[in-house]
Amino acid sequence: MENNDCIEKTYCLYASEWHLTIMLLPFISKKLREKDRIFMKFESSIEDKIRQLTDKLDFKNKDEINNIRWNVEFNDDDYTPNEKIYIVAGSNKYMEEMNKRIHQYYKNRDTNVKIINCFDIQIMDEKHDFINEKLYVNKLTTKGEFLIGS
């Protein structure tokens, strides 16, 4: 995979769609408050679970969270200087394809991009039976995002 200095990779492991939703929601809320752009690239959407949870919890930016656009194409009109965060989840094939497309799209653009690859621990194959942390700078857990090795 092409190395792009402005693309940072983070990973997370999840046990169920609800676990992933609970893990991502505080992170998404915080990043939206910081005016970062969130792009959800999911093979099977958890949008309904996010809406259910935001309806039950008190998020000040609930409407902004619920208005995230899912699986939209890359947008040349998005020139905001803030970080662009792609949260990717699905089969290994789907995630590899999305990562390639993101790298291809941003390879010659001067913008900060973070890719968060979400791995379902129940369907990891032998190619991904462990996370090669050398490929990732950060990991995301239910406690938040952490620098690997900290």
- pLDDT tens readout for residues 44-90: 889 899 999 998 888 888 888 988 877 777 665 565 667 889 999 99
Task: Return the DSSP state at 15.
Answer: S
Statement: residue 132 has pLDDT above 60: no
Statement: residue 2 has pLDDT above 60: no
Tell me what pLDDT residue 115 has: 93
Q: What whole-number percentage of the chain has pLDDT above 70? A: 76
Length of the chain (residues): 150
Task: For residue 49, give both structure tokens.
Answer: 């679970």
Q: CB atoms < 10 A from the CB of 27, how many?
A: 20
Q: Full-prediction pTM beyond 0.75?
A: yes
Task: For residue 142, give both structure tokens.
Answer: 């239910």
Statement: residue 108 has pLDDT above 50: yes
Higher pLDDT, 93 or 134: 93
Containing 12, the helix (H) or strand (E) segment is strand 7-14
Q: How far apart are CA 121 and CA 101, in angstroms?
A: 24
All domains in the chain, ordered by first residue? 7-147 (3.40.50)
Q: How far apart are CA 121 and CA 137, in angstroms?
A: 20
